[in-house]
A and B are shown apart, each in its own frame.
Chain A
Amino acid sequence: MNPVLAIRGYTLEYETAAGPRRVLDNVSLAIDPGEVLGLVGESGSGKSSLAWAIMRHLPGNARERGGAIEFDGENLVGMDRKRMAAIRGRRIGMVFQDPATSLNPTLPLGRQLTEVLIRHRRLTREAAWREGIELLRRVELREPEALMRRYPHEVSGGEKQRVVIATAFACRPNLIIFDEPTTALDVITGARILELFRRLRQETDVAGLYISHDLALVARVADRVAVIERGRILEQAKADQIFIAPTSDYTRRLVAAVPRPERRLTRDRPGPSPVLAARGLNVYYSRARLFGRREATGARQISLQIRAGEILGLVGESGSGKSTIARGLTGLARFGGEILFAGRRIAARRDMDSGYRRAVQVVFQHPDSSLNPRHRVGEILARPLRLFGGSVGDIPRLLEQVRLSTEYARRYPHQLSGGEKQRVAIARAFAAKPQLVICDEITASLDVSVQAAVIELLLALKATHGTAYLFITHDLNLVRQIAHRLAVMRQGELVDLLPVDALTSDRAHPYTRELLAASPAPVGQETSSVG
């Protein structure tokens, strides 16, 4: 049987001001009809470039240095534009990462769906419209007739992505390339999209190239998995094998870095006394405008407690209010209700004195915006040291604690990588010798291997200083590895608060169970888990 897609020894370079940069090096892959190949790589691995190379949509400075990309026996490299235009969209489809940006905001969804039908299947407007409605029904969208007339901003992310999927499947292609299709979506929505995809696969028998940075996810979705690092394919194996028996070092590290809930990283138990407690906390988003005040409550009636040395995980989807709680507890947003700290009641921001500020520190999500680009690392660390009773001489020790050499103190943030910037942010938090550090999705923007290193760092610091953490994340598997207790939020309310091993029991709220089902543990390991 001839493969649908066969890439043989393909090499790609980009011409940059600093010389040619090799993005893909002697890549060879093959996808059989009806098979789904997962391509896993971290940022900078070249996985997206491969997708563009297949679709022949490379930037102006791309130079192909050899190899072939054979689609159904024909070499796409060097094919003329007319023939390629007949293939694109019709025999090779593509599903993109962010449906909010890959759909044209000024055209109705129906139009964006029917235009491929009109173009490739030569249907008339009316026939295409009818067919479009059918396609939307097949991707499980309710009221497809009405949806055809809507605009992208009027529907949710999950609905948009279904439309994009419907468009990709519309012309019954031989191959569909999926470029991280669930990364921009919520966990539960993403899980449902994957189910849809599974069903469509069975119905249409289409071949797929599924690109992602998430090894665990890809292993669930694909038949075979290829791992790519810095433009080179390191290994290819069947999906269930890659977790059990990775052959290359890099894959081994990758597999080890994937969060697995049953692999517990925290072994100690928290102290008895609470560091901080919230009682009936309401945190507000206030937007005072000229005509009327529009105030929304981001988090409602939150009551929780964090004990000394405890890691309390706070999970929820986007918009659930978890970051809002962080803002309330650090005095960045107005709040009602009370916070109890060191035997004192804190009812408003002005009650947060320097003792509170010192004891409760925060680390933010985006490494690019959490460090002042005009300050050197040394200055960034010196300030909290000076404020909270340390001295400038402590800087080398602080840097060492976060595994950075002392010469980093002279550098500016733009000279650091994302992971390094987060370490500096952590060092900044620990400069105050806090009792509680609030981590607001601090690893969400990092590669999984960098994430694992940062988590390891956090645990080491905890072991040294006995700090408690409020660990906010949307990654359930990650937080199950490290938290003592878990709080689950949904639409501003605290839905569940339980010890981590009670998560899989009947005590868990239905929403919690839904979340659990949407993030199953990685395939290919001994102990089974919920999912």
Chain B
Amino acid sequence: MSPRWFARRCLLIGYTLLIVSLLVFAITQALPADAAVMLLGENATPDALAAVRVKLGLNDPVWQQYWHWLSALLHGEFGISMRTGQPVGPAMLLALSRSLLLAACSLALMLALAVPLGIVAALRRGGPADIGASIVSYLGVSLPEFVTATLLLILLADRLQWLPATGYVPLSENFTDGLRHLALPVLTVSLILIAHVSRMVRSEMVDVLHSDYVRAARLKGLSGAAVLFRHALRNALMPVITIVALDVGYLLGGIIVVEEIFALPGIGRQLIVAIETRDLPAIQASALIMAATYAVANFLADVAYAFLDRRIRYE
């Protein structure tokens, strides 16, 4: 990988994170006409409002506020929660770890199912299995996460009583119980991802199967397996990395809803709670962490892709 390319990518992610921080700050602190009123509500006393303004530094000019906020961030200080009075950072990072666990399990399940499904659908193109899969995945992308989650709740937790409805048990405490509590959230997120990704894998695979080089490989008399695994799959699966990276963003959005429904104390839940309690530093921290995770995921995907696709390296 050429160092120039790598340097450019690093510069880009730095720029991205900067813009993200600006955006989050602007929307939550700079834009509101009166952030103090927004935080405490309309009925707050003038004294309380003044106190909050001082506490959060809202009287300073906007750019100065941003600067203080940003430099604190770079030192690892995310501010003090207005709800708990504790530093926001540690709680957020703990929550993030739980969300990452959820995300990782979902991605793993998704890859394990979506990729084979997409490949089979492409190989049996036009057949009943393909059409059936197409319809199911169409449904999958037309249902918002909260609908899927609630339907799964009804089916698996309420009617069949197979899995617990809500709650969280850390894996370190009790592995099987922890898994059982994770199952429904992971299933919800995975289902939608599977619907989405299997369609893309199928479409990529169909393109590759019709490519000139796969045709050439067949006409060279290679075995079906060799054509599929050595020639077709390799080319079809590379874009999957990009797709997965894009889905991380989608997944983060879904996580917010899923954690809310299943009462999973991840970072999405932190955001919702922060919004409900009007806890400005917590809102900012959770939003920033989520966006930063997405940016980093994309960056890693870029690097992985470049590692595998030799053509890009020589840019």
Interface residues of A, Cβ cutoff 8 Å to B:
55, 57, 85-90, 94, 96, 98, 101-107, 115-116, 119-120, 151, 153, 164, 167, 291
Contacts and interface: CB of A to CB of B under 8 A. Distances in A.
Contact of A101 (B212, B222, B231, B238): B212
B131 to A, nearest CB: 15
B310 A151 contact: yes
Contact of B311 (A96, A98, A105): A105
Q: What bracket does the count of chain B residues touching chain A fall in?
A: 20 to 34
Interface in B202-219: 211-213, 215-219
Contacts of B223: 85, 119
B221 A120 contact: yes
A149 to B, nearest CB: 12
B222 A94 contact: no
A57 B226 contact: no
A103 B211 CA distance: 10
Interface in B265-315: 308-311
Contact of B8 (A87, A103, A164, A291): A291
B216 A107 contact: no
Q: Which 9 A-B residue pairs are closest in the complex by CB-CB distance?
A: A89-B221, A88-B221, A101-B212, A89-B220, A102-B216, A104-B213, A102-B212, A106-B234, A94-B219
Contacts of B8: 291
22 contacts: A55-B219, A57-B215, A57-B218, A85-B221, A88-B220, A90-B221, A94-B219, A96-B212, A98-B212, A101-B213, A103-B213, A104-B213, A104-B234, A104-B235, A106-B234, A106-B309, A106-B310, A115-B222, A115-B226, A119-B222, A164-B216, A167-B220
B219 A116 contact: no
B230 interface: yes
Given A96-B212, A101-B213, A102-B212, A89 B309 contact: no
Interface string B1-27: 000000010000000000000000000
Nearest to A55: B219
A101 B221 contact: no
Contacts, number: 69
Interface string B152-167: 0000000000000000
Contact of A87 (B221, B222, B235, B310): B221
Contacts of B235: 104-106
Contact of A115 (B211, B219, B220, B234): B220
A85 B217 CA distance: 12
Nearest to B4: A291
Interface string B210-251: 011101111111110010001100110010000000000000
A116 B220 CA distance: 7
B231 A104 contact: yes
A89 B219 contact: yes
B310 A115 contact: no
A119 B213 contact: no
Nearest to B8: A291
B272 to A, nearest CB: 38
Nearest to A291: B8
Given A89-B219, A104-B234, A106-B310, 5 more contacts: A57-B218, A88-B221, A106-B309, A115-B226, A151-B310
B235 to A, nearest CB: 6
Interface in B50-102: none
A58 to B, nearest CB: 12
B219 A57 contact: yes
